[in-house]
Structure 1
């Protein structure tokens, strides 16, 4: 009997090592109204009919079981149409921030290599503080400011002028620009979403670990979880959902859409660049719901998960956890019905991840709203889908 149990455990472990989706269950088995849940189909199909998106993949889990998994519309309209598949690989855009960058940072924190109150200039000596123009008083930017988007850094950087000045890619030059660019406000006093925060965090992660963010996140997060389709710079572009058709006729497919990540960072960036599938993201979300572990693989401590998904003391008014969005102005993807513990993130390309620990429900909505001309919209759609899912929960 013991030998048989070990054999079953071995087979399960091998399965996850080579990539596997969560077990499935019916909505009814997980305490959800199946007819109510199926109303998401009409919501998404209307968005496609209105040309808000070409297509989508929706995956819903409850209690770490997949209860809804479906593809809609098209993954590609140009140069020819291709139907969306549930296994398609998406450019996650800013979902990179919590999944790769913030998680990697917290792993290093657990190893005693960094703390949230460390000054950024401890790792990047040239990193300038905020200087009050009237009093000349200096305020140092700290790691927690980067993670909560309260650093005072500008939202983005002028890619074209930086490329002209430094060439492409030029990650070290971009860090120099970020280290010295004018700060917009004193750290810890105002929320301003900034991709530069997470590019700075990437530099620190790479300095402390001696690995690229791609290598570190693969070794410490994605490989242990069996997330075999989650990576930077995917090897098979044909398996990726294309994003924008650029003015020069280039169709971005398997090459990150975000200009800073693509042009300045060589497609490996702390703010964007990660690719994944709905199934892989469901595994990551299950790890978060399981307080940092999944399939007997611990990625984070329970304390780290709690810290990442709780509003830091003194930062409550900003609505941001560590890498995760709890209730800021950017959190409308959570809809109107999920509880106060809900957290998540969105991506510019049309991606969304919502995790509700109270009901143990996950909503993964992946779309390619920027294909082919970056004129689609998913802000309203995300909320509508989340509302239908939350309303279908019966217990």
Structure 2
């Protein structure tokens, strides 16, 4: 019997996931700040800008706060928000999946930041000015949204222009669409940068991006509720997003039109579904210099490059898929250190990580439910400030 208990205990250790749970007080944090963060969320719910939220906070490799607020569904019936709710992460997919996979491949010797996109995709058009002078678009330009590619390619536009909305049509469009400016000279946030990176990484590895993420990130870290294709059981735990004009309620299906219609859910710009607890594990991995749950995902050198603005690109304000101080970085708030970085998602998601303070703030909402009218721009910064104020 003792042997069986020991074996079961060891199995539990092997298959356990998540971070140690402690109270804010035991971690040396001021609990009042968490109540202030919750009050900001409550005000947003009262104003009707969000139906609900989940807030998770990581500090020194421990989960010091995890709480659900309000509702995750309002129509056609009401459901309470839970801490285990899966959210459509929207553009948080960009760093958590696309950027992380890129760094894994780079540190394994497959890629360099200075590589030309056209070395991998021969039909990809580089920048030319009015005199015919050419400048190469490089991988670093895709990662920092300074390539000159336009922001988006809506399926309606593809249908109108090409009569098709499949992936091959999107790729052809990206190859030939007019570049807005010389690479590295300006910043334009663009999902097309991520699609181009996805093409390159899938060509190199021979594997779909979502599969690489499963094998190299989610499974090693025990992120069991992180997926591009939620199971039927997981869909029941998903926060719905928009109620479409045809009466379809998007639940467990990516909201972003390019990811949903063109990329069939397997996209690098959006498509990840995850929970606050899973993202806490991911954030702790970066805070721990690339190692989480006893598994090394990235080297310390790769984490440093991943989360820093590349040399000569301070004016852009972007790290390698992460935001540092571009105009999109308001979710970082005003009180965290200059080393803080983060990303947001259109559906209402936010991830902020401050390596100097050993802190991560994960705020997940489905602000687009049910009519795509809610806003969380101010709320994200308010919550980040309240949590930062808890630090000793």
Does the pair score TM above 0.5?
A: yes
User: 2: distance between equivalents of 1:204 and 1:139?
Assistant: 19
Give the distance between the partners of 1:306 and 1:94, measured in 2 at CA. Answer: 21
| Distance in 2 separating the partners of 1:349 and 1:260 | 14
The residue number in structure 1 matching 2:189 is 193
Cα shift readout 1:239-273 (whole Å, capped 9, x = no counterpart): 21100011111111111000100011111111000
Find the partner of 2:55 among 41, 54, 58: 58
Answer whether contact 1:163 1:263 (CA < 8 A) is retained.
no
Confirm or deny that 1:391 pairs with 2:389.
yes
1:329 corresponds to which residue? 327
- Map of 2:218 onto structure 1: 222
Q: CA deviation at 1:167?
A: 3.4
Change (3 A) 1:296 1:315: same
Q: Does 1:21 align with 2:18?
A: yes
Contact 2:18 2:222 (C-alpha < 8 Å) held by counterparts: no
| Post-superposition CA distance 1:272-315 (Å, at most 9, x none) | 00000000000000110111111221111111100011111010
Counterpart CA distance in 2 for 1:283 and 1:36 is 22
- Matched residues in 2 for 1:40 and 1:296: separation? 31
Counterpart Cα distance in 2 of 1:138 and 1:71: 52
| 1:53-109 CA distance string (max 9 Å, x none) | 010000111101111111111100111010000100000000000000011111111
Normalising by the residue count of structure 2, what TM-score does the alignment of the two structures yield? 0.96
Q: How far apart in 2 are the matches of 1:280 and 1:158? A: 30
Q: Residue 109 of structure 1: which of 106, 119, 136 is its match?
A: 106
Give me the whole-angstrom Cα distance separating, in 2, the residues matched to 1:67 and 1:354: 15
| In 1: Cα distance, 2:141 partner to 2:157 partner | 27
Partner of 1:290: 288
Shift of 1:317: 1.2
Q: Residue 118 of structure 2 aligns with which residue? A: 121
Distance in 1, matches of 2:350 and 2:34, equals: 18
Q: 1:139·1:187 contact (CA, 8 Å) conserved in 2?
A: yes
Q: TM-score, normalized by length of structure 1?
A: 0.95
One of 174, 179, 185 as aligned partner of 2:170: 174
Residues 211 and 166 (structure 1), Cα distance of their counterparts in 2 relative to 1, 3 Å cut: farther
| Deviation, structure 1 residue 183 | 0.4
1:272 aligns with 2:270: yes
- 1:13-70 deviation per Cα after TM superposition (whole angstroms, max 9, x unaligned): 221xxxx221111112222111232111211001000001010000111101111111
The separation in 2 between residues aligned to 1:167 and 1:173, in whole angstroms, is 7
Q: What is the aligned counterpart of 1:44 among 41, 44, 57?
A: 41
Q: Contact between 1:159 and 1:264, CA under 8 Å: does it hold in 2?
A: yes
Q: Confirm or deny: 8 A CA contact 1:292 1:305 kept in the other structure.
A: yes
Cα RMSD between the aligned structures?
Answer: 1.5
| Pick aligned residue for 1:254 from 252, 255, 260 | 252
Which segments of 5 or more consecutive residues in structure 1 lack a partner in the other structure? none
**Partner-residue secondary structure (3-state), 2:26:** helix
Report what 1:162 is aligned to: 158
Using the TM superposition, give the Cα deviation of residue 392 of structure 1 relative to its aligned residue in structure 2, in angstroms.
Answer: 1.2
Change (3 A) 1:303 1:8: farther
Q: Show the counterpart of 2:230.
A: 234
Contact 2:154 2:257 in 1 (8 A): no
Measure how far apart 1:9 and its partner are: 6.5
Following the alignment from structure 2 to structure 1, what is the Cα–Cα distance between the partners of residues 339 and 129? 36
Give the counterpart of 1:213 among 198, 209, 234: 209
Aligned to 1:204: 200
- Give matches, 1:373-388, under 5 Å: 373-388=371-386
Please give the secondary structure, in 2, of the residue aligned with 1:73: strand
Residue in structure 2 matched with residue 12 of structure 1 by the alignment: 13
In 2, the alpha carbon distance for the partners of 1:10 and 1:306 equals 34
**Stretches of 4+ moved more than 6 A in 1?**
4-9
Shift of 1:10: 5.8
Instruction: Give me the whole-angstrom Cα distance separating, in 2, the residues matched to 1:29 and 1:238.
Output: 35
Aligned residues: 385
